Amino acid sequence: MLFFRSEERVQQWCRAQDYVQRPIVRMDQLWMLAKTWYSTRLQPDSRRPQPAEMREIFARCGLKDSFWDSEADSFAAPGS
Amino acid sequence: MTFELEVKMAVYRHFAETGVRPSCEQVAERVGTTAGEVVEAYQRLRAQRVLVLEADGISIRMALPFSGVATQHLVKAGSRSYFANCAWDALGIPATLQQPATVYSRCEQSMEPLRLEVGLEGPAGSDWVFHCVVPAAQWWDDIVFT
């Protein structure tokens, strides 16, 4: 999970590393994910989201591709 | 509060208050128990994907979003510095602390440095992007690589 200066840099990096390019996430979307995942982390009742909750969180952030589905099985291993 | 939850909270509070991982002894002191019992709780917390441990089974590699080892993602909040496990966790640290922070990282392709101010409402306008090569269903197959 890495930062890139632009989508073009992602494309260059994926080509160089022989990785499949995955969905691009904007910084505002990443902040929404970070806030949803972690804003209660220092509270005793904090817990990791379950798969259905994860799908709902990603969808709310505009990330609806099955890449973000923790129960999907349709993706090849990175680099394959 | 269960014993495991006490250990988890002690680990997280130590990271938040110091920026570095605690030793088993430091966690034991916070909880009022022995280091051996803390190590046993670590194993259960690892199974629950709360902690990621080093090969020695006693050193914390990750208590997401905090990293127990130095990484390319440095977060400064107040007078403290933290290492994040990944780009997502770099924003996760100010979200966890609920404090403004500055994220220092880089573009993985060009190595251009990133300095990102993150306020309580999120990062200032930035056209940088985030990319992950591992599908969500495989994140925990190798969480360190992810």
pLDDT at residue A75 in the model: 42
* Interior/surface letters A10-32, b for 16+ CB within 10 angstroms, e for the rest: beebbeeeebeebeebebebbbb
Contacts of B90 in chain A (CB under 8 A): 3
Q: Is B17 an interface residue toward A (CB < 8 Å)?
A: no
Contact B137 A75 (CB under 8 A): yes
ipTM over 0.95: no
Q: What distance in Å separates the CA atoms of residue B7 and residue B9, rounded to the nearest whole number?
A: 5
pLDDT at residue B8 in the model: 97
Window from A57-61, B103-107, B113-117, B138-142 with minimum mean pLDDT: B138-142
Residue that is written with structure tokens 């088993």 in the block: B24
pLDDT at residue B1 in the model: 82
Query: Minimal Cα distance from B138: which residue of A?
Result: A70
- Are B53 and B60 in contact by the 8 Å Cβ rule? The answer is yes
Write out the two tokens for B142: 């190798």
Q: Chain A to chain B, count of Cβ pairs less than 8 Å apart?
A: 160
